[in-house]
Amino acid sequence: PAPRATVAPARVGGDPARTAGIALGDVLPAPMDVRPDPGADFTLTADTAIGAAPAARDAAEQLAALLRPATGHPLPVVTDPTAGRVTLALADPGLGPEGYRLEITPARVRLTAATPAGLGHGVQTLRQLLPAAVEAPTPVPARWVLPGGTITDRPRYAYRGAMLDVARHFFGVPDVLRVVDHLARYKLNHLHLHLTDDQGWRIAVDAWPRLATVGGATQVGGGPGGWYSQADYRRIVGYAARRHVTVVPEIDLPGHVNAALTAYGRLAPDGVAPPPYTGTEVGFSHLDPARESTYAFVADVLGEVAALTPGPYLHIGGDEAFKVPADAYAGFVDRAQRIVADTGKTVLGWHQIAPAAHQPGRVLQYWGREATDPVVADAVRRGAKLVMSPADRTYLDMRYAPDDPFGHDWAGAIDVHRAYDWDPAGYLTDVPAEAVLGVAAPLWTEYVTSRDELERMLLPRLPAIAELGWSPRSGHDWAGFRRRLAGQAARWDTAGVGYHRSPEVPWP
Ligand code: TNX
């Protein structure tokens, strides 16, 4: 059951008389329970130490690393949890695997959680409660005040994610790590990487080396493309894991495979390698579901990707295989799902895989725009769970406004209000709310070519999706959300992060 919000009415909105004007409730995504204590602010000073027992040490080090550049304070992390004025501790406050409690008093700041992930989310809350200047890369003079009171917090949904399409345009490791930072900031916990498509194959597979070297050699528009070595991919996975973000790799099958067919013509249904594809059409390429060798290929690829992936999910795509007849398609997905199970992983796929047999734990990512979907509802009755990515609400590649020249518009324009003002539990009316595991926002990159363009599409819509995934439904509130969102601008500006200045948000 979804936790209920009890945001105390006092001190909503900044108090300009205070140094930073940040109130305890000025956090994004909105916390479950906020109890301000207006007389009880804490001030971080040059002699503040951070106390953490060994199990909480990594969270404490990450907190110190976030605060040191702007404050210029040493902020040593000490092992005696009672020694610091800021303390982090693993203790079970009864808030589940990602919840935390943050208590701020003049004497000290105390963060507790049952897990390192809970501590990590609490650290992000603490970061947002400090003045925006905390995002500066070098020391700035400021009073580092935290508003007094207690926050008790836990997420509504277990799966809160974003997808980055690195196939249509390739994004190198530094760009991906930066996206992980944006996710972690807003307590999103899954990064889905769309690693393969017609225009490019972006992950090295030892058993099929030409997939990356040949299949990864170009991208939309004919640029040089690129791919991740297995070491690159491990680096992304490790960086994300430290920030409590699970990487979900997608190998899109049986369609969207032109790059693989270019690398290995024998995988093509007619046995002839097609030329590289640098356009933006979909649905023309596919593997041959009737051929046994297809499954040896799929097993090799999924086996290697599974071995690189500590997280539970392997995403097998399944969208837009327009040239594969329905029976052959369902048979292919059945076998691909069994191959995933053989690797010890759980199947995730676009909701087109619904007609295939159920597999324990199977998750469908719904990207449609209908209020009901009988085929999906049937799969749910057979046990599937859903991640909600309805294209008209969550697609970060859609333009913000009808007259915005940048982005797709096949699912309509999506401004911040449209991204925010819906309920993942109620979008599909013919499935029970309990079937919804969470929400995720895909960023397809046919037209996204650079880090600047990527951040412009991601921000400020990503925090809207984050709040839908994290915050209690009872606190859903556009007016409050856009006010808190406006407060992020100074942080992004200070950190050098790009975003779109949507006219609906009261930016300072
Ligand atoms: C549909 S959504 C696709 C992608 C495109 C996207 C563009 C989905 C599962 N497939 O191949 O990139 O539209 O918005």
**Residue 345 carries which side chain, given as an amino acid letter?**
K
Residue 197 host element (H or E):
strand 196-197
Which two structure tokens, joined as six digits, stand for 345?
């992983």
Q: What is the pLDDT of residue 93?
A: 87
Q: Is 392 in the pocket of ligand 1 (CB under 6 A)?
A: no
- CA–CA separation, 178 and 166 (whole Å): 14
Q: What is the pLDDT of residue 17?
A: 33
Q: Is 320 in the pocket of ligand 1 (CB under 6 A)?
A: yes
310: left (phi over 0), alpha (psi -120 to 50) or beta: alpha
Alpha carbon of 444 to ligand 1 centroid (Å): 7
Which two structure tokens, joined as six digits, stand for 152?
């008790």
| Residue listed under structure tokens 């002699």 | 47
Hey, is 123 helix, strand or coil?
Answer: helix
465: left (phi over 0), alpha (psi -120 to 50) or beta: alpha
Instruction: Give 402-451 pLDDT, tens digit per residue.
Output: 999 999 999 999 999 999 999 999 999 999 999 999 999 999 999 999 99
- CA–CA separation, 62 and 375 (whole Å): 45
Q: For residue 110, how many C-alpha atoms fall within 13 Å in the half-sphere facing its CB? A: 15
Residue 128 CB coordination number (10 Å): 18
Cβ atoms of 201 and 497 closer than 8 Å: no
Q: What is the pLDDT of residue 20?
A: 52
- Residue 503 phi/psi, 5-degree rounding, is -65, -15
Comparing CA positions, the residue from 378, 180, 163 lying closest to residue 252 is 163
Q: What is the ipTM of this complex?
A: 0.96
Q: What is the pLDDT of residue 80?
A: 85
Q: Name the closest-CA residue to atom 6, ligand 1.
A: 444
320 labelled catalytic: yes
Q: What is the pLDDT of residue 473?
A: 98
147 Cβ partners below 8 Å, 6+ apart?
11, 18, 22, 23, 24, 36, 38, 41, 104, 129
Cβ atoms of 52 and 91 closer than 8 Å: no
Alpha carbon of 112 to ligand 1 centroid (Å): 41
Pocket of ligand 1, candidates 196, 197, 250, 282: which has the most ligand atoms within 8 Å of its Cβ, to mutate? 282
Number of H helices, E strands in the chain: 15, 20
- CA–CA separation, 93 and 201 (whole Å): 45
Structural domains of the chain ordered from first start: 6-153 (3.30.379.10), 159-473 (3.20.20.80)
The residue from 61, 320, 453, 504 that is catalytic is 320
The number of the ligand 1 atom at minimal distance from the alpha carbon of 319 is 9
Which two structure tokens, joined as six digits, stand for 186?
């807003």
Alpha carbon of 22 to ligand 1 centroid (Å): 40
- CA–CA separation, 318 and 256 (whole Å): 9
Please count the residues of the chain: 508
Mean pLDDT, 10 residues at a time, the chain of 508 residues: 36 37 96 96 97 96 98 96 91 94 98 98 98 98 97 98 98 98 98 98 98 98 98 98 98 98 98 98 98 98 98 98 97 98 98 98 98 98 98 98 95 98 98 98 98 98 98 98 98 98 97
DSSP strand pairing (42-44 vs 77-78): unpaired
Q: Is 194 in the pocket of ligand 1 (CB under 6 A)?
A: no
The two most distant CA atoms of the chain are separated, in Å, by 75
Alpha carbon of 281 to ligand 1 centroid (Å): 10
Alpha carbon of 293 to ligand 1 centroid (Å): 28
Which two structure tokens, joined as six digits, stand for 135?
């995002």
Q: Is 282 in the pocket of ligand 1 (CB under 6 A)?
A: yes
Q: What is the pLDDT of residue 14?
A: 36
